[in-house]
Homo-oligomer: A and B are copies of this chain.
Amino acid sequence: MPLTPLRGIFAPVTTPFAGDDIDLSAFRRNARHYATTPLAGLVVLGSNGEAPSLDDDESDALIAAAREEYPTDKWLIAGTGRESVRMTVAACRRAAALGVDAVMVRTPGFFKTRITPESLLQYYTAVADASPAPVILYNITMFTGVNLLPETAAALSRHPNVIGIKDSGGDISVISELVAQCRPGFPVLAGATTMLYASLCVGGHGATVGPGAVAPEICAGVQEAFDRGDHPEARRLQALLVPIAKLVGPKWSVAGLKVAVDAYGLTGGPPRLPLLPVPAEGVRAIHEQVAVLNRSVARSP
């Protein structure tokens, strides 16, 4: 079956560890489960996959395992952003060789005071020129301290090897502007759960959000309801996602999503340092919310 268009809900996959090493068999089980959900695709080695904490061998092993477990008619996307063109292109090449459908390249961020629109334009052009896999731009200012402006993204959307953008900011007008300024039909994915529904209203194409990994039916349900014009139902499902979005977003971030993945019945496990595990009361709150979501799914027709 051919790959679907770049549209819908994509889940970031967390990386389970067994002691100091990655737990590949748990990772495979997780990936197999996601294949049975209404997700449009998976992102491995995203922020929620703790990509910055993994070495190249670990990264390659995870991509290879995901490719074996996940069906080829859905999107398998790998995060390959590094801090220089040389290192990013090397990661893109390895990911492409392992069979990903696209690479998601976050902005470099270390030299944040000197990363300008022009430097991002040159950077992404060089990466897209050299990457064998199609490139999805990835703007996540919260973690990088760098902002990829809609104007720059619009210019890059005309590059033949750039196929979409994920913007993780919380500003709905940025989604509007990306839709308005990028080439017509250019997929714009939101990264903030709390504005999933609003981003669809202003013309977005879907989202890559943590709750996709623990409530894929509800996330996908927001978009299905929107697509059939049922705004009240889309808003109702959207509202269900707000508490978990806070817990695995601003409140506990990656470590929280891993707890939610445990609660969902897959293997999340603890994060790597410098991330700390979620303390007991946080674990309790997350389990409660996942239970609420599970009941919502069970109840729906």
Interface residue ranges, A against B (CB under 8 Å): 20, 47, 50, 52-55, 83-87, 90, 107-116, 118-120, 122-123, 126, 142-145, 170-173, 176-177, 180, 192, 194-195, 197-198, 201-203, 231, 235, 238-239, 242, 250, 252-255, 272-276
Contacts and interface: CB of A to CB of B under 8 A. Distances in A.
Nearest to A144: B110
12 contacts: A52-B108, A53-B86, A55-B86, A85-B273, A113-B143, A115-B274, A120-B274, A122-B273, A126-B273, A170-B173, A172-B172, A173-B194
A267 B120 CA distance: 26
B201 A272 contact: no
Contacts of A53: 83-84, 86-87
Given A55-B86, A242-B177, A275-B114, A197 B201 contact: yes
How many of these chains are in the complex? Answer: 4
Contacts of A177: 194, 242
A interface: dominant SS:
helix
Contact of A201 (B122, B198, B242): B198
Contacts of A242: 173, 176-177, 180
A168 to B, nearest CB: 12
A205 to B, nearest CB: 15
A111 B254 contact: yes
Contacts of A238: 176
A112 B141 CA distance: 11
A276 B86 contact: no
Contacts of A143: 110-113
A250 B83 CA distance: 20
B274 A111 contact: yes
Contact of A272 (B84, B90, B142, B253): B84
B194 A176 contact: yes
Contacts of A144: 110
Contact of A192 (B170, B173, B276): B173
A254 B110 contact: no
A101 B274 CA distance: 25
A107 B203 CA distance: 34
B201 A274 contact: no
A194 B6 CA distance: 26
Contacts of A110: 47, 52, 109, 143-144
Which 3 pairs across A and B sit closest by C-beta, in order of nearness?
Answer: A173-B194, A53-B84, A52-B83
A203 to B, nearest CB: 7
Given A86-B53, A110-B52, A173 B195 contact: yes
A141 to B, nearest CB: 11
